[in-house]
Structure 1
Amino acid sequence: MNFSEQRWVITGASGGIGAAIATALAQRGATLLLCGRNQIKLTQLKAKLVGKHQLFIGDLTEASSLGALQQAADNFNANGVINCLGVNQLQTFVQSSEADVRRMLDTNLLTPISVCQALLPRLQTQPNATIVNVGSILGSIGYPGSALYCASKFGLRGFTESLRRELADSQMNILYFAPRATDTELNSPEMQQLNQQFGNKSDTPQWVAQQLCQRLQTSPKGAAYLGWPEKLFVRINALFPSLVDGASLKQLPIIKRFCHQQPLSSTVTGEHHEAS
């Protein structure tokens, strides 16, 4: 992939992973349409990047913003999209409200699907256009305290896999990209403490972005899972789920304790958190 020829739409660009991906791509010569709700953060990010990048300010969970994004992508002459937007909330399902359910599924699953639907007609006219949906290791492993997050990321993984196979007879590149726990200031203290309690490794957003760029350069299709032993856990969970059942049961009292410490409706935006 020649990054200097790439014109990426990046949703959730103001968040830790999204901003890091934008920075890494700009350093490689790509041109970006940075999308998000926070105009101040996006403006500050754009000012740090070398190149002639553009901003799109809007809430992509709203239909009116999706229509405006479609027009902006056409004007921008986009040939790729990276869906980075996401929210997470550490709480048991019984603690979750109907609003929590809708917010998680709308942001993490329905909006990326809608973005793909809005931009796909123009992307299909471009040679070797690319769609990247940023998921999570927890899109393959159901984890206590993350039922809604897992549901949204399992759905995103299934959608991306199906879309890739549906477009296999075209020149489109479709990639599902799944980080593990990532260090950002938007992760709640409870999330950070839970990872520390279990000794879970975390990656920097910059490292995650570098891994995505390497994957785009070598093989921009399929699925990419980051981190060891997390990649192994994905396979174990698929082949021997009862082993993961037993391991998560041992961790359950600690997970529930941290869930109860987490204030309700304390969702973080533009970020991804995974525990394993």
Structure 2
Amino acid sequence: MRPQAARVLLTGAGGGIGQPVAHALLKAGAAVMLVGRSSERLRALAAQLAIDTGVNDSRINCQEADVTRIEHIARLASQAQAWQCNVVVHGAGLPAFGSLKTQDSMQLQAVLQTNLVAPMLLTQALLRHLQQLPHAQVICIGSALGRIGLPGYSVYSASKFGLRGFAEALRRELRESHVKVQYLGPRSTDTPFNDARVGDYNRATGTAVDRPERVAIELMRLLRSEAAERFYGFPESFAVRLNGIVPSWLDGAFKRHSRQLPGAGSRLDANAMPRHMLD
């Protein structure tokens, strides 16, 4: 789809990736509905985006919503339909890092609810509307970890593997419709989404880290191309392909990653878990 024709509902608009994505969409000519949990933060973001991109305020819409609450999803879907949304970008998400034995059960449930269940429910709520349009797209911002299971990311990978599976199956289900379902798989990205432990882990394992603006660039390419999936960066894009063919071949390649995991003493408090991507 040409960005100039896009009316994009963007969840997680206030997050470290959401903000540059919103900027890129507006700069390219799209209209954007910013979705987040704080109306005050959304209004401030909208004002800043209008200044930074030089766009008319009429192309920016703000909707306060917590996508983990079913009643908020229903209201948001109604608002998006009235606004004539034709592109949905699922950008809201929560992190989960560390060995499985250190994961808090409340955090585990929240990650799956936010990263997987919420996009499924919001897509379902909007699907009838999207199918009535001459052209529509649903873009799931996932992760390379939705194709590669990495030590320390069992919970996060589960949510992103699920999101990729959802996108793949729904894409095939809607093949004869005008709705394109797509999956974007960024590699590690430098945002407040990741805490200091992740930074230490990435440095110790030699993991490449991109700026969030790179994600925005790749999302715009995906929007225009309408391709099914997009992974980028070496060696991650190669590992994605290899893991898809013979996943067991990579099992021994991550010993260093396993050894760099924080110990059980780093157990997270669910009440202190980062929420940046939801805003």
Bin for the TM-score computed over the shorter chain: over 0.9
> Quick check: 2:102–2:268 contact (8 Å CA) kept in 1?
no
| Among candidates 115, 119, 126, match of residue 122 of structure 2 | 115
CA contact (8 A) 2:11 2:92 kept: yes
2:235 is the alignment partner of 1:229: yes
In 2, Cα distance between equivalents of 1:271 and 1:197: 25
- Residue 251 of structure 1 and its aligned partner are, at CA, apart by 2.8
8 A contact 1:174–1:222 mirrored in 2? yes
**In 2, Cα distance between the equivalents of 1:187 and 1:64?**
29
Does the alignment pair 1:12 with 2:5?
A: no
| Amino-acid identity (%) | 35
Q: Return the letter of the residue paired with 1:255.
A: L
SS of structure 2 residue aligned to 1:232: helix
Q: Secondary structure at the match of 1:255?
A: coil
- How many residues of Structure 1 are paired with residues of Structure 2 in the alignment? 270
Q: 1:251 aligns with which of 246, 257, 269?
A: 257
Residue 226 of structure 2 corresponds to: 220
Which residue number corresponds to residue 155 of structure 1? 162
Distance in 2 of aligned mates of 1:170 and 1:140: 26
TM-score by length of 1: 0.92
What is the identity, as a one-letter code, of the residue corresponding to 2:13? A
**Structure 1 gap ranges (5+):** none
2:79 pairs, out of 62, 66, 72, with 72
Check the 8 A contact 2:36/2:42 in 1, yes or no: yes
Instruction: Note the aligned Cα RMSD (angstroms).
Output: 1.7
2:92 corresponds in structure 1 to: 85
The AA in structure 2 aligned to 1:227 is: G
Paired with 2:262 and 2:142, the residues of 1 have a C-alpha distance of 24
Q: Quick check: 1:84–1:270 contact (8 Å CA) kept in 2?
A: no
- Bigger Cα displacement from structure 2, 184-193 vs 129-138: 184-193
Q: Give deviations 1:49-94, integer Å, cap 9, x for gaps.
A: 2232111101111111011101111221111100001101212111
Q: Aligned partner of 1:194: which letter? A: Y
- Report if the CA contact (8 A) 1:9-1:32 is conserved: yes
Match of 1:39 in 2: 39
Tell whether the 8 Å contact from 2:131 to 2:179 is kept in structure 1 after alignment: yes
Q: Could you list the runs of 4 or more consecutive aligned residues of structure 1 that deviate by over 6 angstroms after TM superposition?
A: none
Q: Write out per-residue CA displacement over residues 144-180 of structure 1, whole angstroms, 9 at most, x where no aligned residue.
A: 1111111110000000000000111111111111100
Distance 1:252 1:12 in 2: 30
The CA distance in 2 between the partners of 1:199 and 1:96, in whole Å, is 24
Question: How far apart are residue 41 of structure 1 and its match?
Answer: 2.5
Q: 2:52: which partner in 1?
A: none
Cα distance per residue 1:204-225 (max 9 Å; x no partner): 11121011112222x2130111
1:178 maps to 185
Partners of 1:29 and 1:162 in 2: how far apart? 30
Residue 199 of structure 1 corresponds to 206
User: TM-score with structure 2 length normalisation?
Assistant: 0.91
Given the superposition, is the C-alpha separation of residues 201 and 111 from structure 1 closer, same or farther in structure 2, using an over 3 Å criterion?
same
